[in-house]
Amino acid sequence: MAKIRTPFVVIAFLLLIALIVSYFFSEERLGGGYTYDDNTRAIYGNKLQQIDIPHEVVAHAHNRRYIVAKQYLHLGMLDTTWFNVAGRSFDGDDKFYYWIIDKKCDSVYGPMDSIQFVSFCSKNKNIPLLQ
């Protein structure tokens, strides 16, 4: 009877290890204590894992100083918890928003529409390009 349980215990143990590994490798470190979580598609800050850029980040880039993110917001997301927690205002249209984190100043700029984003980038040098 012990021989029958051994393979099940080994399989269960390996599955547990696989889940733990997949959880820890779902985050991409962006520098300055910021991380991108592939599971939630959000960017978390260095202060108690607060969400600095809410979920639905569809593209992001970073360098030593800045993190840039492109987020898709649709009307159904306006009633979700993160919208209230983030405390940011959206105009309510289905579209993309842009965010910039200045890691040196620990500041978050956004949400911005494309015109605001281009204007911000033209005034601030060394902001990484989104792919």
Flag whether the pTM goes above 0.75. no
Per the domain annotation, does 130 fall within a domain?
no
Per the domain annotation, does 99 fall within a domain?
yes
Total of domains in the chain: 1
Host domain of residue 49:
27-123
* Burial per residue of 20-55, b for 16 or more beta-carbon CB atoms within 10 angstroms, e otherwise: eeeeeeeeeebebebbbbeebbbbbbeeeeebbbbb
Per the domain annotation, does 40 fall within a domain?
yes
- What confidence tens digit (pLDDT) does each residue in 56-80 have? 899 999 999 999 999 887 655 554 4
- What confidence tens digit (pLDDT) does each residue in 14-35 have? 777 766 665 565 678 898 889 8
Per the domain annotation, does 114 fall within a domain?
yes
Per the domain annotation, does 91 fall within a domain?
yes
